[in-house]
């Protein structure tokens, strides 16, 4: 045996000797052609073999080659290059940057990754996409920009943020918002304080392999915001100036509502039908009775002495009592449009950006300043922002690097109340006001009533019908009420890194130790002022002032190891992170002001409210990640993080989160070599568990003390010493958990003209916080417990194709699509469903499904609304046991699930064209399927509240026996049970953005370039109903809110 072993060693030694006799070493250095910077991590492959190596941090490499050898040099972000070795022993190579390849650099948790080797799921939005948008918040750049990411238009309130969801709904009673990370540190500032022009890229981490390292805050995905930094320009300074000026208008049109004639004829019919169908009066008498009631003394529609009769004939002569039509000889004295009057005349949006950047191999810097003034659609509303940023990086020696970045912004807003059905909400009051009511006081002839200075007087409507906001004028609110919001944001990011990545450090080669500190500070000052003359605070006025302060810091220490051993590449990370958050609030409220226009509390005579409190949160974390690949072909990754959160009881404070991922770059296999149509193809899959500590209170605010009991001192302590218990403690309250599975591929085909990314995912949320009922005799309705389960399944797809990329012409198109199926798997044992208004959460159904009666049409004989009803709860889902009835109470008890807001598929279509100095881009978004409960549209259908305007669709209402229509008769005081008639198809198609520009070269004048451009945002939205905002929210309801903006702008961008 010993002799055989010696013989084998001898033979192997001879073979190795022969191999070395045939091969020789070739070495060299790889640099960037642009600035000569050494490129580390470049793959150097011996073509036709499996022999390969990588350059070190200094760009050096060494590889053994045989005769007639050819080397291939490839690196993400650069065009690959092949070099015939010949007799050379030293080959230095410079690589040229490739715009197409730059798309494949991903900013991920605590580092960067190559898309072709990344085992997780992520999408990147580049700066050119962001810069083509006229937006004040970076969140609005996400709409349509990445598959699996959806955002709402929300409101058009200047400076408002969009609400973002990544791959569906993460929870019922906890936050579904993604985690935002700015330059590697979780962000606690205002998102609208970030200047979009300062953003280099947005990377959305969508699965567990991509986001697990952020632990308990990453269950709903992560949005990585990377700001611009200085580059090595060999000491030259690049200066950029950009001016952008445009005009805002409504992106969503107004609902189709009635004019004065249509409105009064409908009101007459409503009163007349009441006489006939409710009181049993004959039709011949009903007409006159209707007129008498309309001009009577109890809630008269025309006010006192017909002061709100807009016609020049008395009410007794205004209607044809048989047909209900307006007297053809009558003419209008006025017809004011309240919504038009509250709107600003061509509000201007203007933005100015100045930045300078540059550096050397040792020092790089970028500084920027920005000013934005965005005037709102409502008169007097606006958003102003001053911001500045400074990013520095210092590398005096190759083993040390320090960076410091700072951002400051100062914003001010006059926003007003712009949601809900309060009369102080100008959108609500202006949209709902019946057209017969004048904005300004009118005399008997319809002329304006003037004050001593000759100015028009607002009509506050003390004698309007009860549904017409009596003693209120929405236009006057714009001038006499105020909602000021002043905010200061400051953020700092700093890094100190020691590294020994170069091979000259021997045993310590590949190591790096970094210390990162980030802080965010926000100071807010709110002023809510309600005038003493009319409206909600008539008689005394009301002023509320509120100050809040937020401060947080994140400090982490990262030890990384990156080393190649032949074809084996290892990248490891271990780290520790501390996070602390503090929030303070102080507020005061007074009434009893001597006159209007006072914005300080001192003159008020009565203290009607005061409050102060502090919230604190800390998070301690330890984490690690290992990534391995073999020959740039097979990839494995594993991540682990453990978090200890102050939100939970100390006994269960720590949670563990992990992920595993793998990828196979199948295009590197021999059996696909020489394939002309597959340029790159990577298969990947991952699985992991994340946490969600974003627990919410019943009011929707963050629950920083989720497990503790709460006590109310306000009432009990005011009468006797003591406190009332308002919630029960539960020391077992813990994280909600997300288990994520992802499988997909990334590919480039047809000479890199076609790119395809596909991911199928399954995301299951478990241990959701739900209210577990208690016996009412205990004095509580229940307590929160971790007991619910829910899942989201679906796919993300992105397809891009370069139609032209020759002869100076570039033209590409991109299509993105996402599909999500949501299902609630488990609720409490006591309650298998949670009903809230018009929606329901039920086991086996999608979250927030619509729950209402089913319309059976209109009775042709009587015009009554008909319903499908059932007698027993058990028959709800068995439609064969439903029957038709006009009984409203039965209908109210016969609700069924009527779909939900979730679309069948949603996404975007975009195109980019570049020809010589001309550039053009367009993005459209779409959503197919789903439903919306159109609250506004439904209220326009409701003739119950006389004084509100009506939809013109009511003109199709039933009027006489035999009429066939889907709109029941109008009848005052006749309420209808809510049915699926209030639901509207949620599908839409939107032209999101168009940008066109031309770049002039002015090198001889000292300019690098001058680009003039025009761009439009939210240019058109096509949906099932005029006036509907299909992107208002994710629950599928509408509200009387600030209309989204359409902005058309032009500008100039000068580079020095």
Q: What is the CATH number of the domain that holds 51?
A: 2.60.40.1120
Question: For 992, how many CA atoms within 13 A lie in the half-sphere containing its CB?
Answer: 29
Please choose, from the candidates 350, 383, 352, the residue with its C-alpha nearest in 3D space to the C-alpha of residue 197: 352
pLDDT in tens, 72-130: 888 766 777 878 898 898 999 988 765 444 346 788 999 888 887 899 999 999 999 99
Question: What percent of the chain has a predicted confidence (pLDDT) above 70?
Answer: 94
DSSP secondary structure, 998-1014, as one string: EEE--GGGT-SEEEEEE
What is the mean predicted confidence (pLDDT) over 1020-1039? 92
Q: Could you give the angle at the alpha carbon of 694 between the alpha carbons of 572 and 389, nearest 5°?
A: 65
Range with lowest mean pLDDT among 212-216, 497-501, 533-537, 685-689? 533-537
pLDDT confidence tier of residue 719, bands split at 50, 70 and 90: low
From CA 25, how far away is CA 441, in angstroms rounded? 95
Residue 725 has pLDDT above 80, yes or no: no
Strand 849-852 relative to strand 839-842, pairing: antiparallel
Q: In angstroms, how far is the first alpha carbon of the chain from the final one?
A: 78
From CA 152, how far away is CA 162, in angstroms rounded? 5
pLDDT confidence tier of residue 420, bands split at 50, 70 and 90: low
Is 49 within a domain? yes
What is the mean predicted confidence (pLDDT) over 39-55? 79
From CA 422, how far away is CA 773, in angstroms rounded? 33
Range with lowest mean pLDDT among 223-232, 780-789, 880-889? 780-789
Is 34 within a domain? yes
DSSP secondary structure, 596-616, as one string: S---SSTT-SEEEEEEEEEEE
pLDDT score recorded for residue 529: 93
More reliable by pLDDT, 951 or 7: 951
More reliable by pLDDT, 389 or 564: 389
Q: Nearest 5°: phi and psi at 338?
A: -65, -40
pLDDT score recorded for residue 646: 94
What does the block give as tokens for 319? 């209607």
Angle separating helix axes 283-294 and 260-273, nearest 10 degrees: 120
Residue 691 has pLDDT above 80, yes or no: yes
pLDDT score recorded for residue 514: 97
Is 459 within a domain? no
pLDDT score recorded for residue 1004: 66
Please choose, from the candidates 153, 144, 149, 137, the residue with its C-alpha nearest in 3D space to the C-alpha of residue 176: 149
pLDDT confidence tier of residue 727, bands split at 50, 70 and 90: confident
What is the mean predicted confidence (pLDDT) over 338-348? 94
pLDDT score recorded for residue 3: 45
pLDDT score recorded for residue 36: 77
Residue 15 has pLDDT above 70, yes or no: no
DSSP annotation of 873: G
DSSP secondary structure, 925-950, as one string: EEEES-EEE-HHHHHHT-TTSBTB--
Residue 806 has pLDDT above 90, yes or no: no
pLDDT score recorded for residue 54: 83
Q: What is the mean pLDDT of the chain?
A: 90
What is the mean predicted confidence (pLDDT) over 740-753? 94
pLDDT score recorded for residue 572: 97
From CA 597, how far away is CA 532, in angstroms rounded? 9
pLDDT score recorded for residue 714: 64
Residue 570 contacts by C-beta under 8 Å, 6 or more apart in sequence?
561, 562, 563, 564, 626, 627, 628
pLDDT score recorded for residue 222: 96
Contact 1036, 1003 (CB under 8 A): no
pLDDT confidence tier of residue 533, bands split at 50, 70 and 90: confident
Contact 675, 690 (CB under 8 A): no
CA-to-CA dists, residue 19 to 23, 46, 64, 68, 555, angstroms: 6, 15, 10, 15, 53
Range with lowest mean pLDDT among 20-24, 356-360, 571-575? 20-24
DSSP annotation of 1037: B
pLDDT confidence tier of residue 742, bands split at 50, 70 and 90: very high
From CA 69, how far away is CA 25, in angstroms rounded? 11
pLDDT in tens, 156-197: 889 999 999 999 999 998 899 999 999 999 999 999 999 999
Number of H helices, E strands in the chain: 12, 49
Give the SS3 label for residue 238. strand
More reliable by pLDDT, 233 or 366: 366
pLDDT in tens, 604-616: 999 999 999 999 9
Per-residue b/e over 897-919, b at no fewer than 16 CB within 10 Å?
Answer: bbbbbbbebbbbbbebbbeeeeb
What is the mean predicted confidence (pLDDT) over 387-398? 96
From CA 10, how far away is CA 30, in angstroms rounded? 39
Number of domains in the chain: 1
Is 198 within a domain? no
CA-to-CA dists, residue 768 to 66, 176, 206, 650, 781, angstroms: 62, 12, 20, 20, 18
pLDDT in tens, 271-300: 999 999 999 999 989 999 999 999 887 778
Range with lowest mean pLDDT among 134-148, 286-300, 481-495? 286-300
pLDDT score recorded for residue 385: 98
Is 736 within a domain? no
Helix (H) or strand (E) holding 825: strand 809-826
Residue 35's domain comprises 2-101
pLDDT score recorded for residue 506: 86
Is 520 within a domain? no
What is the mean predicted confidence (pLDDT) over 522-543? 91
From CA 1030, how far away is CA 414, in angstroms rounded? 26
CA-to-CA dists, residue 808 to 33, 77, 377, 914, 918, angstroms: 22, 21, 42, 8, 11
pLDDT confidence tier of residue 8, bands split at 50, 70 and 90: very low
**Most confident region among 58-67, 68-77, 540-549 by mean pLDDT:** 540-549
Residue 22 has pLDDT above 70, yes or no: no
Is 67 within a domain? yes
Helix (H) or strand (E) holding 129: helix 127-131
Is 723 within a domain? no
Residue 417 has pLDDT above 80, yes or no: no
């Amino acid at each position: 045996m010993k002799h055989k072993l010696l013989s084998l060693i001898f033979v192997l030694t001879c073979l190795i000797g022969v191999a070395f006799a045939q091969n020789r070493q070739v070495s060299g250095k790889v640099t960037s052609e642009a600035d000569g910077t050494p490129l580390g991590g470049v793959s150097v492959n011996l073509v036709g073999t499996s022999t390969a190596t990588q350059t070190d941090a200094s760009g050096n490499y060494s590889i053994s080659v045989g005769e007639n050898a050819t080397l291939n040099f490839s690196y993400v972000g650069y065009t690959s290059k092949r070099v015939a070795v010949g007799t050379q022993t030293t080959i230095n190579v410079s690589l040229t940057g490739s715009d197409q390849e730059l798309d494949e650099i991903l900013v991920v948790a605590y580092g960067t990754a190559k898309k072709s080797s990344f085992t997780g799921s992520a999408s990147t939005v580049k700066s050119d996409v962001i810069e083509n948008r006229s937006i004040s918040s970076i969140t609005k750049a996400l709409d349509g920009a990445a598959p699996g990411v959806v955002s709402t238009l929300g409101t058009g309130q200047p400076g408002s943020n969009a609400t973002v969801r990544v791959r569906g709904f993460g929870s019922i009673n906890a936050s579904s918002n993604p985690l935002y990370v700015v330059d590697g540190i979780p962000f606690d500032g205002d998102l609208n304080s970030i200047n979009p022009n300062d953003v280099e890229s947005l990377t959305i981490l969508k699965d567990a392999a991509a986001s697990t390292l952020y632990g308990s805050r990453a269950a709903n995905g992560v949005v990585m915001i990377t700001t611009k930094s200085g580059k090595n320009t060999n000491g030259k300074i690049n200066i950029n100036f950009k001016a952008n000026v445009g005009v805002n208008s409504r992106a969503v049109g107004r609902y189709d509502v009635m004019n004065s004639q249509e409105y009064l004829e409908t009101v007459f019919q409503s009163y007349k039908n009441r006489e006939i169908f409710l009181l049993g009066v004959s039709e011949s008498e009903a007409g006159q009775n209707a007129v008498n009631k309309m001009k009577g003394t109890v809630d008269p529609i025309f006010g006192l002495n017909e002061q709100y009769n807009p016609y020049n004939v008395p009410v007794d002569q205004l209607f044809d009592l048989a047909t209900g039509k307006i007297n053809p000889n009558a003419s209008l004295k006025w017809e004011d449009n309240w919504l038009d009057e509250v709107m600003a005349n061509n509000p201007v949006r203007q933005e100015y950006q100045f930045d300078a950047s540059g550096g050397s191999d040792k020092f790089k810097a970028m500084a920027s300043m920005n000013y934005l003034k965005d005037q709102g659609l409502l008169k007097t509303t606006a958003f102003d922002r001053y911001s500045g940023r400074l990013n520095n990086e210092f590398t005096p020696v190759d083993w040390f690097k320090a960076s410091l970045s700072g951002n400051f912004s100062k914003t001010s807003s006059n926003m007003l109340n712009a949601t809900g059905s309060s009369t102080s909400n100008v959108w609500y009051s202006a949209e709902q006001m019946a057209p017969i009511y004048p904005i300004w006081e009118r005399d008997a002839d319809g002329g304006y009533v003037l004050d001593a200075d000759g100015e028009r007087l607002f009509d506050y409507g003390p004698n309007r019908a009860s549904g017409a906001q009596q003693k209120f004028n929405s236009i006057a609110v714009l001038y006499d009420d105020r909602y000021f919001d002043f905010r200061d944001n400051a953020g700092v990011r700093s890094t100190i890194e020691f590294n020994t990545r170069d091979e000259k450090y021997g045993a310590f080669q590949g190591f790096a130790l970094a210390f990162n500190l980030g802080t965010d500070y926000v100071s807010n000052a709110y002023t809510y002022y309600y005038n003493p003359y009319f409206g909600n605070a008539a008689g005394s006025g009301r002023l509320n002032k509120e100050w809040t302060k937020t401060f947080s810091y994140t400090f982490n220490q990262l030890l990384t190891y990156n080393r190649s051993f032949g074809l084996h590449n290892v990248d490891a990370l271990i780290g520790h992170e501390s996070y602390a958050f503090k929030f303070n609030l102080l507020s005061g409220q007074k009434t009893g002001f001597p006159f209007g226009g006072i914005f300080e509390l001192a003159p008020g005579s009565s203290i009607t409210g005061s409050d102060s409190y502090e919230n604190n949160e800390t998070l301690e974390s330890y984490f690690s990640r290992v990534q391995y690949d073999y020959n740039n072909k097979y990839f494995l990754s594993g991540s682990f993080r453990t978090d200890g959160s102050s939100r939970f009881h100390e006994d269960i404070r720590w949670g563990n989160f992990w992920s595993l991922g793998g990828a196979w770059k199948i295009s590197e296999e021999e059996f696909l070599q020489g394939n002309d149509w597959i340029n790159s193809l990577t298969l990947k899959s991952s699985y992991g568990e994340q946490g969600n500590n974003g627990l919410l209170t019943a009011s929707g605010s963050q629950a920083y003390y989720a497990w503790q009991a709460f006590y109310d001192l306000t009432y009990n302590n005011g009468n006797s010493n003591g406190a009332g218990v308002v919630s029960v403690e539960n020391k077992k309250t813990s994280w909600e958990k997300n288990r994520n599975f992802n499988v997909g591929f990334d590919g480039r085909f047809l000479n890199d003209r076609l790119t395809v990314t596909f991911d199928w995912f399954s995301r299951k949320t478990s241990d959701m916080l739900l209210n577990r009922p208690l016996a009412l005799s205990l004095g509580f309705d229940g307590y929160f417990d971790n007991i619910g389960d829910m899942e989201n399944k679906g796919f993300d797809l992105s397809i891009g194709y370069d139609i032209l990329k020759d002869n100076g012409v570039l033209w590409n198109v991109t299509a993105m699509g996402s599909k999500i199926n949501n299902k609630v798997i488990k609720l409490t044992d006591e309650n298998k469903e949670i009903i809230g208004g018009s929606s329901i959460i039920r086991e086996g159904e999608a979250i927030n499904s619509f729950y209402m009666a089913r319309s059976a049409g209109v009775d042709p004989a009587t015009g009554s609304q008909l319903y499908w009803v059932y007698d027993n709860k058990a028959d709800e889902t068995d439609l064969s046991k439903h029957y038709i009835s006009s009984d409203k109470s039965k209908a109210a008890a016969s609700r069924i699930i009527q779909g939900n807001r979730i679309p069948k598929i949603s996404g975007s279509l975009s195109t980019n064209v570049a020809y010589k100095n001309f550039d053009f881009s367009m993005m459209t978004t779409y959503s197919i399927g789903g439903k919306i409960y159109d609250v506004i549209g439904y209220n326009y259908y409701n003739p119950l509240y006389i004084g509100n305007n009506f939809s013109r669709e009511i003109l199709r209402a039933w009027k006489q026996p035999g009429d066939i229509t889907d709109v029941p008769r109008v009848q005052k005081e006749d309420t209808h049970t809510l049915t699926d008639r209030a639901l509207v198809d949620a599908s839409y198609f939107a032209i999101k953005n168009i940008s066109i520009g031309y770049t002039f070269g002015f090198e001889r004048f000292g300019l690098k370039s001058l680009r003039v451009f025009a761009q439009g945002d939210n240019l058109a939205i096509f949906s099932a109903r005029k006036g509907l905002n299909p992107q208002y929210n994710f629950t599928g309801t509408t509200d009387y809110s600030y209309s989204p903006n359409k902005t058309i702008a032009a500008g100039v961008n000068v580079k020095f």
